[in-house]
Amino acid sequence: MAEEAIDLVREPDPHHREWLLQLRAQTATNIADGRRSELVFEDLVAVLADRIDRSYAAIVIICEDDVPRVRASNAPVPINHLVHGSDRSRWFGAWSASYTRNVDTIVPEIAVSSLYREHRKTFVEHGLLASRAAPLMGRHAIVGGSIVVMLEQARLLDSDEIDVFEEVASLAALALRREQERDEILDRLRYDPLTGLENRDGLEDHLRTTLNSSRMDGPAVGLLFVDIDDLTLINDSLGHSAGDLVISTTANRIREQLMRSDHVVRFGGDEFIVVLDQIDSIADARTVAERIRDAIKEPLEIEGTVLTTTVSIGIATANARTPPLQLIDEGHAAVVRAKQNGRGSTALHDEQLDAGASDRLGREQRLQHALEDGELTVFWQPKIDLQTGKIAGAEALVRWQHPEKGILGPDGFIPTAERAALIDELTDWVLQQAIGEAVTLTEHVPGFNAAINLSATQLVRPDINFVIAAGLERFGLPAEALIIELTESSLANQDVIERLDELRNNGVKLAIDDFGTGYSSLSYVRSLPVGIVKIDRAFLVGLESDGSGAPVLAAAVAMAHALGKSTTVEGIETLEQLAGLRALDVGWGQGYLFAEPAPLDALLNQIEDNPTW
Ligand code: C2E
Ligand code: CA
Ligand code: CA
* Residues in the chain, overall count: 613
Protein residue with its CA nearest to atom 45 in ligand 1: 453
Given a cut of 60, is residue 71 above it in pLDDT?
A: yes
Overall pTM surpassing 0.75 (yes/no): no
Centre of ligand 2 to C-alpha 431, Å, is 14
- Average pLDDT of 250-263? 92
Which residue ranges have their beta carbon within 6 Å of ligand 1?
Answer: 381, 397-398, 409-411, 414, 430, 453-455, 485, 513-514, 537, 570-573, 591-592, 597
- Average pLDDT of 199-207? 87
Q: Which residue has the higher pLDDT, 575 or 495?
A: 575
Centre of ligand 1 to C-alpha 409, Å, is 8
Centre of ligand 1 to C-alpha 70, Å, is 45
Q: How far apart are CA 134 and CA 306, in angstroms?
A: 59
Count CB atoms within 10 A of the CB of residue 566.
16
The segment(s) of the chain belonging to CATH 3.30.70.270 are: 198-349
Given a cut of 50, is residue 354 above it in pLDDT?
A: no
**Average of per-residue pLDDT values in the chain:** 89
Given a cut of 60, is residue 465 above it in pLDDT?
A: yes
pLDDT, position 460? 84
Q: Quick one: CA dihedral 594, 598, 604, 608, positive or negative? A: negative
Site to probe by mutation for ligand 1, drawn from 397, 484, 613 as the one with most ligand atoms within 8 Å of Cβ, is 397
Q: Check if the beta carbon of residue 47 is closer than 8 Å to that of residue 10.
A: no
pLDDT, position 514? 84
Nearest to 226 by CA among 293, 178, 176: 293
Given a cut of 80, is residue 332 above it in pLDDT?
A: yes
Given a cut of 60, is residue 605 above it in pLDDT?
A: yes
What is the fold, at CATH topology level, of the domain defined by 371-609? Answer: TIM Barrel (3.20.20)
- Average pLDDT of 170-190? 90
Ligand 1 atom with least separation from CA of 397 = 38
Dump pLDDT digits (tens) for 563-597: 899 999 999 999 999 999 999 999 999 999 999 99
pLDDT, position 195? 92
Q: How far apart are CA 314 and CA 335, in angstroms?
A: 4
By percentage, how much of the chain surpasses pLDDT 90?
Answer: 63
Nearest to 530 by CA among 459, 428, 445: 459
CATH of domain 198-349: 3.30.70.270
Nearest to 591 by CA among 383, 397, 392: 383
pLDDT, position 492? 65
Given a cut of 60, is residue 87 above it in pLDDT?
A: yes
Q: Which residue has the higher pLDDT, 419 or 145?
A: 145
Q: How far apart are CA 126 and CA 75, in angstroms?
A: 9
The residues near 271 (Cβ < 8 Å, ≥ 6 apart) are 225, 226, 227, 228
The segment(s) of the chain belonging to CATH 3.30.450.40 are: 19-188
Protein residue with its CA nearest to atom 34 in ligand 1: 453
> Across the strands, what pairs with 106?
132
Site to probe by mutation for ligand 1, drawn from 378, 570, 572, 581 as the one with most ligand atoms within 8 Å of Cβ, is 570
| CATH fit for domain 19-188, picks 3.40.1710.10, 3.30.450.40, 1.20.20.10, 3.30.70.1400 | 3.30.450.40
Site to probe by mutation for ligand 1, drawn from 453, 464, 576, 590 as the one with most ligand atoms within 8 Å of Cβ, is 453
Nearest to 196 by CA among 264, 114, 296, 119: 264
Given a cut of 70, is residue 300 above it in pLDDT?
A: yes
pLDDT, position 360? 63
The segment(s) of the chain belonging to CATH 3.20.20.450 are: 371-609
